[in-house]
Structure 1
Amino acid sequence: MRVLHVYSGNLFGGVETLLLTLARERASAAALSHEFALCFDGRLSRQLASEGAVIHRLGEVRFSRPWSVLRARGELRAVLRRQPTDVVVCHSPWSHAAFGPAIARARRPLVFFLHDAVQGRHWLERWASRTRPDVVVCNSRYTAGTIPNMFPAAASRVVHLPVAPGAPSGGVEERRRTRARLGATEEDVVVIQVSRLERWKGHALHLDALARVRHLPRWRCWIVGGAQRPSEQQYLEELQAQAARSGIADRVRFLGQRDDVPSLLAAADVHCQPNTGPEPFGITFVEALYAGLPVVTTAMGGALEIVDERCGLLVPPDAGALAAGLERLLLSAEERARLGAAAPGRAQQLCDPGARLADLARAFEVAVASRSATP
C-alpha cells in the first residue's frame, strides 16, 4: 500500500518524530510504502532526506495568502496524477484544512490523523471539518474522545504511535562521559525533561518542585528542548530567571535542541515532565521508558495510557505533590531501579513499531474500503 503523508514540516515535535519513525521502520511494515508531501523545508525534511525518504515539496503555505494555498493544492494534485497513491494522510487540522478538499476531489482515500485534542471552535478546525475523511486515526483514547467536535459521524481507530527504542548506548563508560560533560558525577541523581518549550509542558511547575527539594544533596536537572518560536524564547528566559530566583540555577542546565537525546536519556536517572495541560499521547514518555527511566508526570491526558504504578509516578499538577514524588525517587535508588526495570517492557507493549504499523495498515484499509463503497 502506497501512503502519502501531507504535513507542514516547519517545526519539530511529536508529529515529526512519528513521520521519521515511519521512514526509518520500513522493514517493520513491508506492506506499507511511505512518501511525504511537505510545505516547508527544515529539520524534518533534512532528516527524512537523510533516511532516503521520497519527499514532495508543495511550497510554503500561509492561510493569510490564499493564493499560496491554491498553488500548493495544485502541486499536490500534480503529485497524485503522476503516481498511484492508495491512501493520503493529513496530519493535523492545518494540513486537512489546506489539502483535504483537493484530496477529496481527487477521490483518493483520505485519512485524518488526529495528534491533539480538538474542540471544533478554532477557525482551522471549523475549516477542516468541512471535508469529512474516510477514517480518523487517533494517537490515544484521550484524543479519540474529542473527535465528535470535528467529525461526529466519522469512522475512527485508536493507534498508539510506533516508537522505536533508542540506539544502543555505549554502556557505563559512555554514560560516565556524558554525565561528566554536563557536570554530573556518578553519585548525582539526574532528572531529565525532554520536550518542546511550551508552557503546558510544565517546565515552570518542574522547577517549582525542584526548588522545594533543594535541601537534598546530589541531584541535577537537564532541560532538553530548544526555542522554535519567539514566544518559546521568551518562555526559556523566564525559566532561566525562575531557576536563578529559586537558588537552583547551579543544578539546572538548559541544553537546548539536541541530536543526542538517546545518549542523554541513557545518562539520566529519572524522567520528569509534569504537564499542566493534557498530553495528547506522549512519545517522550515512551522514549524514556525504553531507556529504562522511571517517568514522573501529571495524571491527565495520554500519560494515563502510558504510565502506571509499575513504571512511574502519576501526580496531581501541584508543586507539593510533584516535589514529594521526586523526593521519593531522589532518595531511593531501589525504587528507581524497580520502576526502571519494568519500563522497557511497558514501552514495547504499547509502541512496538511492528505491531503499531500493522494497526496503521488496518486503519488505512478501512479508508480504502470506505472510499471504494462511496458512489
Structure 2
Amino acid sequence: MSKLKVLYICPNGYMGGAERFVCNAARGHSESSKIRLTVFFFTDGEAVDECNRLGIETHVLPFTFRMRNLGKLLKAILYLRVFINDGAFNIVHSTMPYAHLMACFATLFSPIKRIWFQHGPVGGTLDKLANLFHVDRIYFNSKYLESEHLKMSLSSRNTSKHKFINYGILENKASDTEVEKISSELRTFSEQKLFLSAGRLCSWKGQDNLINAFLAASQKDSDFCNKAKLVIIGSAQTDRDKAFAKKLFDLVRENKAEDKVLFLGHQKNIQNYYHACDIFVHTSTIPEPFGLVVAEAMKNRCLVIGSNVGGVTDILKNRETGFSFDSTSSNATESLIPVLLETFAKSREQNLIDPIKENACKIIESNYSIKQMTDALESDYEILC
C-alpha cells in the first residue's frame, strides 16, 4: 500500500508551542510506514532547522507576504497552490488559523482533505475568518480549547469533525554534567532555591507579574530573600515583544535585583534547566490552550506552579501534580506571592514534594508521548482518506 502524502503548513519558522508540535509530530512521522510527510513554512527559523535535521522534506516560502497586501497575498496563495498540486498531497494539515486560511484558498475546488489544528488562543479575527471555510477535521489539544472554539459563530456545525489530540512531549534526556554545571553557575550557594520561567518574552506570558511577585515575596520573607533566585529563559521575537522585554530589564534594574533575577535568553537544551532548577513557574495572563512548557517541566520532574484556568488544568491539579493560582486575574501578582512562599518552604522537604513531582511525571508519560500522538494522527489520516 502506498503511503499517504501529508503536507503540514506552518506559518512561523521560529520555535513556539505550535511549532514545537510540528517538530515533534515530524519526529514521530519520520519513522512511519503509513505516511510521507512534507512541512511547508512561511518563514525560516529554528523550527525549519529542526525539521531538516530530522530528515523531513521541508520547504520555505521564498518571499514574505502580509494579508493586508493583496498582491503579495495572491502571489503566496498561487505559489502554495502550485506546490500542493505538484506534490499530489492527500491531506493538508494546517497549524493555526492563518495557515488554514491560506490552505483553503490554495485548495479551492480540490478534493484534498483539510485539517485545522486549533492550537489557540481562540477568538481573534483570523479564527473567525478561518471558521467560515470548509474543513474535514479540527484538532484540539484540550477541552478548554474546544469550549472556547465553540463560542465562535457557526462553530457548532462542525462538532462531528472535532477530535482531541494530546501533544507528544519529547523525551530529551538531561546531561548530568551540564545540569551540575548549570546548577553551580546559577547558585550562589548550594542551599539556594532556583525558580525558573521559560518561554517567549511577551506581555501575555506574564513575566512582569512573576518578577513583581518574586520581589514582593523577598520583602515579606527574609529567608526567601536570602535563599531564592529567579531564572528567566526566553527571548523577544517582535518589536512589541522587545519593548516588553526592555520593561522587564528596567524593572529588575530599578529594584537593584540583578543578583536575584537572571535573564539567560534563549536556551536550546531546556531539559537541563528543568533539572538544575527547583520550581518552574508559568504565569500566562490569558488562559493557555494547553501549556506545553508546563508538561515539559512535569515530565522532567520539576515542581510546577501554574494557572488554575485554561487548558493547563487538564494536567495541573493543585497540590496533586503541582501548585496553581489565578494567573489571569487583575490581582495575579498578589495571588502568586503566597504560592511562591509556600512552594519555597515545601521545596526543602523532599517527602512533601517528591510525590507531587512523581504524580505529574506519570500523567505526562502515560498520556502525552510522541508515539501516542503520531499514532492518533496517522490513524485519523487513514480514516479521512
TM-score (structure 1 length as normaliser):
0.90
Paired residues of 1:77 and 1:102 also in contact (CA < 8 A): yes
| In structure 2, distance between residues paired with 1:203 and 1:211 | 12
Match among 127, 130, 134 for residue 128 of structure 1: 130
Number of residues of Structure 1 aligned to a counterpart in Structure 2: 364
Match among 7, 22, 26 for residue 29 of structure 2: 26
| Residue 185 of structure 2: aligned partner | 181
| In structure 1, distance between residues paired with 2:108 and 2:146 | 23
Label 1:9 to 1:44 Cα distance change in 2 as closer, same or farther (>3 A).
Answer: same
CA RMSD, 1 decimal: 2.0
Residue 251 of structure 1 pairs with residue 254 of structure 2: no
Label 1:30 to 1:223 Cα distance change in 2 as closer, same or farther (>3 A).
Answer: farther
Residue 147 of structure 1 pairs with residue 157 of structure 2: no
Q: What do residues 270-318 of structure 1 show as CA deviations (whole Å, max 9, x unaligned)?
A: 1101222101111101110111011101211111111113220111233
SS in structure 2 of the partner of residue 169 of structure 1: coil
Label 1:30 to 1:287 Cα distance change in 2 as closer, same or farther (>3 A).
Answer: farther
Residue 349 of structure 1 pairs with residue 366 of structure 2: yes
| Residue 163 of structure 2: aligned partner | 157
Label 1:29 to 1:288 Cα distance change in 2 as closer, same or farther (>3 A).
Answer: farther
| In structure 1, distance between residues paired with 2:238 and 2:320 | 37
User: How far 1:130 sits from its partner (Å)?
Assistant: 3.0
Label 1:198 to 1:293 Cα distance change in 2 as closer, same or farther (>3 A).
Answer: same
Match among 169, 175, 180 for residue 170 of structure 1: 175
User: How far 1:198 sits from its partner (Å)?
Assistant: 1.8
Equivalent position amino acid for 2:99 in 1 = S
User: How far 1:125 sits from its partner (Å)?
Assistant: 2.8
Match among 295, 300, 318 for residue 309 of structure 2: 300
Residue 325 of structure 1 pairs with residue 339 of structure 2: yes
| Residue 202 of structure 1: aligned partner | 206
Match among 302, 325, 335 for residue 315 of structure 1: 325
Within a 5 Å distance, the mapping from 1:328-339 to structure 2 comes to 328-332=342-346, 333=348, 334=350, 335-339=352-356
Label 1:28 to 1:290 Cα distance change in 2 as closer, same or farther (>3 A).
Answer: farther
| In structure 2, distance between residues paired with 1:37 and 1:272 | 33
Label 1:313 to 1:195 Cα distance change in 2 as closer, same or farther (>3 A).
Answer: same
Label 1:247 to 1:190 Cα distance change in 2 as closer, same or farther (>3 A).
Answer: same
Paired residues of 2:236 and 2:242 also in contact (CA < 8 A): yes
State, as a whole percentage, how many aligned pairs show the same letter. Answer: 19
Label 1:246 to 1:298 Cα distance change in 2 as closer, same or farther (>3 A).
Answer: farther
Gaps (5+ residues) in structure 1? Answer: 369-375
SS in structure 1 of the partner of residue 272 of structure 2: helix
Equivalent position amino acid for 2:175 in 1 = G
| Residue 287 of structure 1: aligned partner | 296
Equivalent position amino acid for 1:138 in 2 = F
User: How far 1:366 sits from its partner (Å)?
Assistant: 4.6
| Residue 240 of structure 2: aligned partner | 231
Paired residues of 2:121 and 2:289 also in contact (CA < 8 A): yes
Q: What do residues 310-362 of structure 1 show as CA deviations (whole Å, max 9, x unaligned)?
A: 22011123323322112122122223333223232121123111112222223
User: How far 1:223 sits from its partner (Å)?
Assistant: 0.6
TM-score (structure 2 length as normaliser):
0.88
Paired residues of 1:225 and 1:255 also in contact (CA < 8 A): yes
| Bigger mean CA offset, 207-216 vs 242-251 | 242-251
SS in structure 1 of the partner of residue 157 of structure 2: coil
Match among 47, 67, 70 for residue 66 of structure 1: 70
| Residue 363 of structure 1: aligned partner | 380
| In structure 1, distance between residues paired with 2:22 and 2:115 | 15
Gaps (5+ residues) in structure 2? Answer: none
| In structure 2, distance between residues paired with 1:18 and 1:2 | 19
| In structure 1, distance between residues paired with 2:20 and 2:46 | 11
Residue 17 of structure 1 pairs with residue 26 of structure 2: no
Residue 137 of structure 1 pairs with residue 139 of structure 2: yes
Paired residues of 2:96 and 2:117 also in contact (CA < 8 A): yes
| Residue 340 of structure 1: aligned partner | 357
User: How far 1:30 sits from its partner (Å)?
Assistant: 4.0
Moved over 6 A (4+): none
Paired residues of 2:199 and 2:293 also in contact (CA < 8 A): yes
| Residue 57 of structure 1: aligned partner | 60
Label 1:225 to 1:231 Cα distance change in 2 as closer, same or farther (>3 A).
Answer: same
User: How far 1:266 sits from its partner (Å)?
Assistant: 1.6
| Bigger mean CA offset, 151-160 vs 330-339 | 330-339
Paired residues of 1:178 and 1:267 also in contact (CA < 8 A): yes
SS in structure 2 of the partner of residue 111 of structure 1: strand
Match among 92, 102, 105 for residue 109 of structure 2: 105
